[in-house]
Amino acid sequence: MRACEWCGRSIVAKNRQARFCSSKCRVYAHRNPLPKALTNADRWVRRDARKVPLTTTGTAASSTDAATWSTYAEAAASSTGVGLGFVLGDGFACIDLDHCLVDGVPTAAAARFLEAYRGHHVEVSPSGDGLHIWGTAEPGPGTVRTQDDGLHVERYSTGRYITVTGNVYQRGEILPV
């Protein structure tokens, strides 16, 4: 069943391009680009232009020190640095695909890879040419690999933070990765 990306109501009767049941849902979705599973977790940091993690007050933050993390509301309200980050761990994981978008369009290798993540929340990275596939996983060692088709795939589940831009490539849920 095709469902409204915001409220989940069926949109089977709508045209094929429709993503929402109503303009109201489209507006809400635009204003709230992040899944609640992320915004409900108190694992937020700020970051500077060089991707150094910061607390909301501008001191150094650490992906291994929860005392330096904030709620989403606090981090989003802070003007420290240039943007937001979310610390992985406690079941939160992310797959990082670098240099896989050309003018916003995924390379053939990336498009193939994304087929396995159709229901996932996927964001465009700060550089504009990478994707972050958010999800859940047991905390474990990170992996870095280059597939036979050239796609560079990094997967992390603990011990680091990932930038969050709110630039949604694919609206979805926080599902296993």
Residues that bind Zn ion (CB under 5 A): 4, 6-7, 9, 21, 25
Residue 28 Cβ vs Zn ion, minimum distance, rounded to whole Å: 8
Closer residue to Zn ion, CB minimum distance, 12 or 67: 12
Active site residue 148: no
Distance CA 99, CA 165 (A): 16
For 16, phi and psi rounded to 5 degrees?
-60, -30
What lies within 8 Å, CB to CB, of 7 at 6+ separation is 21, 25
Residue 117 Cβ vs Zn ion, minimum distance, rounded to whole Å: 22
Active site residue 90: no
Please report how many Cα atoms fall inside a 13 Å half-sphere around the Cα of residue 15, on the Cβ side.
Answer: 1
Residue 30 Cβ vs Zn ion, minimum distance, rounded to whole Å: 13
Closer residue to Zn ion, CB minimum distance, 5 or 123: 5
In degrees, to the nearest 5, what angle opens at C-alpha 76 toward C-alphas 51 and 29? 110
Active site residue 173: no
Closer residue to Zn ion, CB minimum distance, 26 or 51: 26
Three-state secondary structure of 106-119 = ECHHHHHHHHHHCC
Residue 27 Cβ vs Zn ion, minimum distance, rounded to whole Å: 11
Active site residue 98: yes
Closer residue to Zn ion, CB minimum distance, 23 or 59: 23
Choose the catalytic residue: 5, 96, 120, 123.
96
Q: List the structure tokens of 42.
A: 């108190």
Which residue numbers are catalytic?
Answer: 96, 98, 132, 154
